[in-house]
Amino acid sequence: MLTSTLRSSFLATGMGVALMAAPAMAETEQDPWEGFNRSIFSFNETLDRYAVKPLAQGYRYVTPDIAEKGVSNFFDNLSDVGNLFNNLLQFKFDAAGKTFARLTFNTTFGLAGLVDVATPMGIEEHTEDFGQTLGHWGVGSGPYLVLPFIGPSTVRDGVALPVDWAVDPVGEVDHVPTRNSLYALRLLDTRSRLLKAEQIISGDKYSFVRDAYLQRRAYQIDDGAVDVNYNSDF
């Protein structure tokens, strides 16, 4: 997994051009940089095909299900730090209270988050990141943007990444080998969770991933609200 410094430099690769072009977004389609995005997508796919995916498959094969679930729970618990931060920024105080409760119970009674004790207690998860916070306060997404090593994003979500990294507890680990090991383990955990989901992809993979990402982000920012046109003939 990339360190914070490396990730910031990769992000800057595409963001300079993106920010200069952002004011024209209202008059363009969602993916005006498709040629550039497809080239980065191809690079990411090659890296995934020959390195990340095989490692994730190996990780899933050799790791007992109970241990794999514990690792997922551990990183989900860490992510609640960012969820709490962003729920507070959006003035979602009920969600923030529940997130704080999840973080407290899972960190203590759940053995540092290895066991999710909050969900059986009825304390649901409220996932939020800084990109969602910006969207909540009216910041437009800007054009679709594929980032090296990171994947699908938008100008808004790309700009938000350094804030998400800043509140990531893993980045606060002073021992560099331990910190990098946690980054690598989280990468394997995240990729292994997607092994089944990627089986539903059909047609042009680039377009499928782009459309799924944009629809999911809109759903997340609107807190699941879906516009329904009752005047439609269909």
User: Residue 101: inside a domain, yes or no?
Assistant: yes
d(Cα 82, Cα 76) in Å, to the nearest integer?
10
Please tell me the pTM assigned to this model. Answer: 0.83
Whether the CB-CB separation of 72 and 63 falls below 8 Å is answered with no
Q: How many other CB atoms are there within 10 angstroms of residue 64's CB atom?
A: 8
Q: Which of 136, 127, 10, 27 is nearest to 77 (CA)?
A: 127
Give the integer Cα–Cα distance in Å for 105 and 108. 5
Residue 133 counted as domain residue: yes
In a domain, residue 233? The reply is: no
Q: What is the mean pLDDT of residues 168-197?
A: 96
Mean pLDDT, range 27-34, rounded to an integer: 80
pLDDT per residue over 164-175, tens digit each? Answer: 999 999 999 999
Q: What is the mean pLDDT of residues 186-206?
A: 93
Strands (E), the chain: 144-147, 151-154
* DSSP class per residue in 153-176: EEHHHHHHHHHHHHT-GGGG---H
Residue 225 falls inside a structural domain: no
Tell me: pLDDT of 234 over 90: no
Residue 230 included in any domain? no
Give pLDDT, residue 8.
46
pLDDT of 108 over the 50 cut: yes
116-124 mean pLDDT: 97
CA 89 to centroid of chain Cα atoms: 18
The domain in which residue 57 lies consists of 4-19+27-215
Q: Identify the band that residue 226 occupies on the pLDDT scale cut at 50, 70 and 90.
A: low
Tell me if 222 is assigned to some domain: no
Mean pLDDT of the 60-73 span: 97
| More confident of the two residues 197 and 214 | 214
Mean pLDDT over residues 63-79, rounded?
Answer: 97
Q: Per-residue confidence at 202, pLDDT binned at 50, 70, 90?
A: confident
Q: How confident is the model at residue 110 (pLDDT cuts 50, 70, 90)?
A: very high
Q: Is the pLDDT of residue 28 over 70?
A: no
- Looking at the chain, how many residues does it have? 234
Q: What is the mean pLDDT of the chain?
A: 88
Q: What is the pLDDT at residue 29? A: 79
Cβ contacts of 41 within 8 Å, gap of 6 or more: 146, 206, 209
**Count of structural domains within the chain:** 1
pLDDT at 228 over 60: no
What pLDDT sits at residue 19?
A: 42
Q: How confident is the model at residue 227 (pLDDT cuts 50, 70, 90)?
A: low
**Using an 8 Å Cβ cutoff, are 81 and 169 in contact?**
yes
Which two structure tokens, joined as six digits, stand for 114? 């290895």
Q: Are 185 and 194 in contact (CB under 8 A)?
A: no
What three-state secondary structure class fits 127?
coil
CA angle at 152 for the pair 146 and 157, rounded to the nearest 5°: 95
Provide the percentage of residues in the chain whose pLDDT is more than 70: 84
| Cβ contact 131:160 at 8 Å | yes
Contact by Cβ (8 Å): 3, 180: yes
Cα end-to-end distance, the chain, whole Å: 47
Residues 133, 160: contact at Cβ < 8 Å? yes
Q: DSSP state, 22?
A: G
- For residues 202 and 103, which has the higher predicted lDDT (pLDDT)? 103
CA-CA-CA-CA torsion sign (56, 58, 61, 65): negative
Q: Is the pLDDT of residue 130 over 50?
A: yes
- The mean pLDDT value for 110-114 works out to 97
